[in-house]
Structure 1
């Protein structure tokens, strides 16, 4: 399991003058709003945003992306609001979190064929990419950590998430050179 200090050290290793305080602030905020939440494994939910931020730090992304990784599920899974994120972390981070939230919320209708679902997913990702590629990078890091921790889900859900990853996220990551 990655720790906040590991992330801070990674960022400091590649960024000439990092704002580590904003990353620490995002961690504290994420811990506060996710308090009491658990993953399917029974682990504290905070492990997930930490791992996502760690993946983003491995990719040597900027502080706003790392902060977004720590906050990416706050609007979707807590009482946090975009306005609150704007006030605390600035409009750039709030827009990135909002973009990741929008990508997470879509689910193709069960009546669509697999090809139609794939096309719909690509359309939504392209729309998000047009605004900021970092939204896609955070979503890919999110999916990467979720794939690493599928063992606590039903076989049906594992198969669905695995297939979606193969059909949508893996080709997209490949096209982005990740």
Structure 2
């Protein structure tokens, strides 16, 4: 069962205790590759630190690194595979423009890059289907047809699960605010 809130152990300085977080994830699914997850986490953390140093902030007060860990934790509880968790950790960094998708492909391979690209594509399409804009799109039936088309376009269920985990994190953040 998915936890109500992600488990992100915090160091005294307010940073994430990555070693403890990884230990928790591996306790949920011992078959996961510790090194691959650690590399993805460090990649995402470095990308965020470089973006912060360059003042390339997507939204004030949010952390793509922490969001990625939270998304990955939800997916780990659902027993998703290694590539899904790596994609979840780095997805927000790509979405926020902190790293290019080509670099993800180079560092983590075509499967992870394809998952990230699928979630990006899904986010772009779903953003264009705002029900409040039904006057622009036409009837509610047209909006529903677009949603069905979106689901049909997702050729890997892991893409939809990553996106749903991200939306879960967003809802939690709004609830806490």
Q: Is TM (by shorter chain) over 0.5?
A: yes
User: Which category of TM-score, normalised to the shorter sequence, fits these structures?
Assistant: 0.7 to 0.9
Task: Name the structure 2 match of 1:147.
Answer: 171
Task: Determine which of 117, 128, 139 is the counterpart of 2:143.
Answer: 117
Q: Is the CA contact (8 Å cut-off) linking 1:52 and 1:142 kept in structure 2?
A: yes
TM-score in terms of structure 2 length = 0.73
2:72 is paired with a residue whose SS is helix
Counterparts of 1:1-178 in structure 2 under 5 Å?
A: 1-3=7-9, 4-5=18-19, 7-13=21-27, 15=29, 17-35=31-49, 36=52, 37=57, 39=59, 42-106=61-125, 107-108=128-129, 110=133, 111-112=136-137, 113-128=139-154, 131-151=155-175
Larger Rg: 2
TM-score in terms of structure 1 length = 0.73
C-alpha separation in 1, matches of 2:64 and 2:26: 26
C-alpha separation in 2, matches of 1:58 and 1:32: 25
C-alpha separation in 2, matches of 1:57 and 1:34: 22
Change over 3 Å in CA distance of 1:119–1:5 after alignment to 2: farther
1:108 is paired with a residue whose SS is coil
1:94 CA drift (Å) = 0.4
Aligned length: 150
1:114 CA drift (Å) = 3.4
Q: Which runs of 5+ in 1 are unaligned?
A: 154-178
Q: CA RMSD in A?
A: 2.4
